[in-house]
A and B are shown apart, each in its own frame.
Chain A
Amino acid sequence: MMIGAGILKGMAVTGRNFIGSYFEKDRLTTVQYPEERDVLPENSRNFPFLVYDTNDPEAGLRCVACKICEKECPPQCIYIEKSADKKPDYMGKPQFYPATFDIDISVCMSCQICVEVCPFEAIKMDKVYELSRRERFDALLMRRTDLAKSNSYYHSIHPLEAEQVDATLAAAAAKKKPAPTPAPPASG
């Protein structure tokens, strides 16, 4: 074979790709980010958020400040201070609630272990990724108010998982209707 044949074959591949990109649409893989965005798959996860049921973030917060996620979080980026008083949860049983619930998203590694170990389905993974800031300290510490998001929002980002969670919670509530002690199921 001629000495330059391998190089010409390589250039032929690049040429075919270049010409091909005018005809075959699947060769153009660029996602024009600000105008056109990738639809994130259902399981996609970025940072955690707290779920609340009724449309009142204070009363409906599912979190009962049991601090399991704080202990299990590998980089230890969750800080919870239990409240002194109690409030009724979705089953009517008075439970504690977190007075402060901070997540330092400049340390969080979005590994969703807090979601896995939470027995009360109170913390789920969000999909928001446009969080770049110009300052570091206060802007990247998510407090309870920034973290709390409604169950309907949870349905909008993780539809299948949300239904499954609601089904298990409803089943637990129905089973335990007479005795008000809820037996929260293991998370999905």
Chain B
Amino acid sequence: MEALDEIKVRIEAAIPGARLEIIPNPGPANQSSLLLDHAHASTVARFLRDDPALRLDYCSNVTGVDWLERTVKKKVKVKKVVEGEEKELEETREEIFSGYLEAVYHLYSMAHKHGPLVVRLRTRDRAEGAHLPSLTPVWRSAEFQEREIYDLYGIHFDGHPDLRRILMWDEFTDHPMRKDYREPDDYEYEPTPHDDVLEKAKQHYVPRPAQDGTANIAAQ
């Protein structure tokens, strides 16, 4: 399979309005990905599937990812004039990335047997109305996986034939895989709690009965 930027160029040639962006993958796995815009997502997907050179006819994996608001501290080398002479200064600059919800598609080709092309769809609005174009009409294997992303992340896929909850029960209203999901505090007999479980368990502890004698002092 040719390199990602060549594919990007060919897609932009084939589909004029498509706005594509390459997201680099810093890790050693070097599987960089292609960010699609909502309007042309399905046309680009159909192109990827039907293009004779690519023939990406097999969508292996569809994953939902929730990126929270994050502030990244970066050490930036800044030239500053200090007491009259130039000096290289280390300055930690805080950069705020706004949160977004994401669906990542790993595409393979069974015809040419070549490797993953990673396609991403992002939506900034993390409230209840997050919408993304569904690629199930293009690859049937995305049907259950997109339903799972709707169930656990709350992304509505437009154009999905049968968008229902797949794993949780229908009366469930939350989206549990989001990073800011707090599960109901059903405390119950926690004999071995530590760190966050300990905090939750603390409010339910019966205060130790006042024991006179040294045992109590030693245990404090």
Contacts and interface: CB of A to CB of B under 8 A. Distances in A.
Nearest to B196: A76
A141 B191 CA distance: 8
Interface in B172-198: 189, 191-194, 197
Interface in B154-186: none
B192 A79 contact: yes
B218 interface: yes
Nearest to B197: A76
Prevailing SS type, chain B contact patch: loop
B218 A79 contact: no
A104 to B, nearest CB: 5
A84 interface: yes
A119 B81 CA distance: 51
A78 interface: yes
A102 B191 contact: yes
B189 A102 contact: no
Q: Which of B189, B191, B194 has the most CB of A within 10 A?
A: B191
Chain A residues touching B, range: 10 to 19
A137 B191 CA distance: 9
Interface in A18-47: none
B191 A104 contact: yes
Interface in A70-86: 70-71, 76-79, 84
A70 B192 CA distance: 9
Contacts of B193: 76, 79
A71 B195 CA distance: 9
A78 B192 contact: yes
B218 A76 contact: no
A158 B98 CA distance: 55
Contact of A70 (B189, B191, B194, B218): B194
B189 A76 contact: no
Contacts of A71: 194
A175 B191 CA distance: 41
Contacts of B189: 137
Nearest to A108: B192
B218 A77 contact: no
Contacts of B197: 76
A107 B193 CA distance: 12
Contacts of B192: 76-79, 102-104, 107
Nearest to B218: A84
A84 B191 CA distance: 21
Contacts of B194: 70-71, 76, 79
Given A78-B192, A79-B191, 11 more contacts: A70-B194, A76-B192, A76-B193, A76-B194, A76-B197, A79-B192, A84-B218, A102-B191, A104-B191, A104-B192, A141-B191
Interface of A: 70-71, 76-79, 84, 102-104, 107, 137, 141
21 contacts: A70-B194, A71-B194, A76-B192, A76-B193, A76-B194, A76-B197, A77-B192, A78-B192, A79-B191, A79-B192, A79-B193, A79-B194, A84-B218, A102-B191, A102-B192, A103-B192, A104-B191, A104-B192, A107-B192, A137-B189, A141-B191
Interface of B: 189, 191-194, 197, 218
